[in-house]
Amino acid sequence: MLNNNVVLCTEENGIARITLNRPEALNALNRDVLEQLSSILDRIKTDSSVKAAIIIGAGERAFSAGADIQFLNKATPLEVRDLAQLAVTVTNKIESLGKVVVAAINGLALGGGLELAESCTLRICVNYARLGHPEVRIGAVAGFGGTTRFPRLIGKGRAAELLLTGNAIGADEAYRIGLVNRIVEPDKLLSEAETLIQEILSQAPIAVKMTWEAIHRGENLTLEESALLGADYFGLAASTEDFREGTKSFLEKTQPSFKGR
């Protein structure tokens, strides 16, 4: 796996741990970070030994404080747009990786940092985390996917309030509105993320992948089209050996042994 200056990646027990490694800048996202992250995601997507991934920030203060403001202040409008387009490409890669990705939010997750987390399958945060979209406070827009994913995660009205005021929220409020799935003590963040991943990986692999695809693809369809897509995936899942194993084990009240085929 890659091991670079601004993004680190290690693998253990089939789980890739991706670390945004600019702690001195609160893991702010610049072109180097996004390009290295993009390259790592490409490798993970095609590496059959990697079953899932965790994204976390280096240090104890931030997952990521967002786009690099020093760059934004000096960049041309075209350079800003290019950075945003790169970030959108990266978040799309995370969302369509075909593997579970958990954002382990170890502090601040603001602006582009929160947008990175929003593209993950699930989000776990420490109890002192602060999350928000402060872009309007610097005259900017949540252009890394926030205006799209944020409302879909927590609802249009609540997202509009937070996007338009730039207010940040704490871990408890983030959990209450469904932005994060779990809140943990700092020393349990990674172990909880790994436990959650292992719980998912213990299920039928093809069914897990199809379920996420149905959720992801169904967001852009009408209610009827999305439901029909789910029915199609249900039919496809029925063609797998795991489906026969799972239904047989249910009837016989035994533990299924899924093979991923």
Residue 116: CATH number of its domain: 3.90.226.10
Cβ 92 vs Cβ 56: under 8 Å:
no
Q: What is the mean pLDDT of residues 142-155?
A: 94
Report residue 6 as tokens: 């601004």
Judgement on whether residues 96 and 56 belong to the same structural domain of the protein: yes
| Domain housing 70 | 7-201
- The per-residue pLDDT for 2 is 47
Question: Cα separation of 199 and 216, whole Å?
Answer: 20
Judgement on whether residues 210 and 197 belong to the same structural domain of the protein: no
> Residue type at 29?
L
Judgement on whether residues 67 and 115 belong to the same structural domain of the protein: yes
Judgement on whether residues 213 and 175 belong to the same structural domain of the protein: no
- The per-residue pLDDT for 56 is 98
pLDDT band of residue 109 (cuts 50, 70, 90) is very high
Catalytic residue at 115? yes
Judgement on whether residues 196 and 234 belong to the same structural domain of the protein: no
In a domain, 260, yes or no: no
Is the pLDDT reported for residue 18 higher than 50? yes
In a domain, 258, yes or no: no
Q: Which of 24, 35, 79, 135 is catalytic?
A: 135
Question: Cα separation of 21 and 32, whole Å?
Answer: 11
Sort residue 166 into left (φ over 0), alpha (ψ -120 to 50) or beta. left
Report residue 194 as tokens: 């790994």
In a domain, 1, yes or no: no
Judgement on whether residues 187 and 228 belong to the same structural domain of the protein: no
Instruction: Determine how many CB atoms are found less than 10 A away from the CB of residue 250.
Output: 10
Taken in order 116, 122, 125, 131, is the CA torsion positive or negative? positive
- Residue where one domain finishes, among candidates 165, 186, 201: 201
Q: Would you give the DSSP letter of residue 29?
A: B
Sort residue 178 into left (φ over 0), alpha (ψ -120 to 50) or beta. left
- Residue where one domain finishes, among candidates 182, 201, 220: 201
Q: Which of 115, 118, 192, 194 is catalytic?
A: 115
Cα(first)–Cα(last) distance of the chain, in Å? 26
Quote the distance between the C-alpha of residue 150 and its chain's center. Answer: 12
Residue 231: CATH number of its domain: 1.10.12
Judgement on whether residues 165 and 192 belong to the same structural domain of the protein: yes
Question: Cα separation of 227 and 119, whole Å?
Answer: 22
Q: Which of 93, 135, 139, 101 is nearest to 120 (CA)?
A: 101
Judgement on whether residues 211 and 188 belong to the same structural domain of the protein: no
Judgement on whether residues 108 and 146 belong to the same structural domain of the protein: yes
In a domain, 71, yes or no: yes
Judgement on whether residues 172 and 211 belong to the same structural domain of the protein: no
User: Considering the entire predicted model, what is its pTM?
Assistant: 0.90
> Residue type at 247?
T
- Give the dihedral of Cα atoms 101, 106, 112, 115; nearest 10 deg: 40
Q: What is the mean pLDDT of residues 12-41?
A: 96
In a domain, 152, yes or no: yes
Lowest mean pLDDT among 53-57, 61-65, 102-106, 206-210: 206-210
Judgement on whether residues 66 and 181 belong to the same structural domain of the protein: yes
In a domain, 18, yes or no: yes
Judgement on whether residues 31 and 16 belong to the same structural domain of the protein: yes
**Cβ neighbourhood burial of 261 (10 Å; 0-12, 13-18, 19+):** exposed
How many domains is the chain built from? 2
Catalytic residue at 11? no
Encode pLDDT of 31-66 as tens digits: 999 999 999 999 999 999 999 999 999 999 999 999
Is the pLDDT reported for residue 191 higher than 70? yes
